[in-house]
Amino acid sequence: MAFRVQTFARRTVLVMTLALMAPAWTAQAAVPAESFISDNIQKSLSILNDPSLSATQKSDQFEHLLLSLTDMKRIAVFTLGQYAASVPPAQQDEFATAFQNYSISVYRSYLGLYAGQTLKVTGSSQRAPDDFIVNTVMVDPNGGQQPLQVNFRVRTDSGKPELTDFSVAGIWIALSERDQFAAFLAHNQGDIKNLIAHLQQVTTAAR
């Protein structure tokens, strides 16, 4: 009986110790994700706000940086939702290309709204060992606009940090796109070719 009590006591102490240490582990694991967002999103803003760059240079540099931070095909397949399983690999690649061009214009449009502002990381949370939400605010150094909450989802399961989604004022962009694409496909008999053509049209109009 004494052995059981002692064993139970040791296990209890161990569980309590692990519970107390868990927030520290989470905080340490989240730091690279925070640094990844702080450094690279600020670089994106700097490119878009640089008066010495031409429009073409801004576009090229922004695109190069964004593609180095994300796995566009992964995000593209995610936005297809329930339709992804029925899309042949070759057509997935075609959609991923159209989605990539579309996404670059979307990201540029959103971040372009914060010209002159700076990014401030306010914290982060860990959804899984390789899945983080980094919380930030866009701050106007001149005080002309109220700080805006912009959060970023970072995955590390590929061996390096990758941006997979971001939210503006609580609205997650990839999730919103998945809902929009599902509605579009539902009205077009699930025809991915129609969605690809639609994304191409939207991208051309945005440019």
Distance CA 121, CA 73 (A): 27
Name the strand (E) or helix (H) holding 134.
strand 131-139
- pLDDT of 68 > 80? The answer is yes
Name which of 25, 41, 12 is nearest 152 in CA terms. Answer: 41
CA distance 37 to 59: 20
Dihedral (Cα; 78, 83, 85, 88), 10-degree rounding: -100
Helices (H) and strands (E) in the chain, counts: 6, 5
Thinking of the domain 27-206, which architecture would CATH place it in?
Roll (3.10)
User: Which sequence spans correspond to the domains of the chain?
Assistant: 27-206
**How many Cβ atoms sit within 10 Å of the Cβ of residue 55?**
7
Using CA atoms, how far apart are residues 60 and 73, in angstroms rounded to an integer? 20
The pLDDT score that the predictor gives to residue 181 is 95
Record the pTM: 0.77
Q: Please write the tens of the pLDDT for every residue from 87-103.
A: 999 999 999 999 999 99
What is the average per-residue pLDDT within 134-143?
86
pLDDT tens digits, 19-46: 333 333 334 445 789 999 999 988 888 8
Distance separating the N- and C-terminal Cα atoms of the chain: 76
Classified as helix, coil or strand, 50 is coil
Q: What is the mean pLDDT of residues 100-126?
A: 85
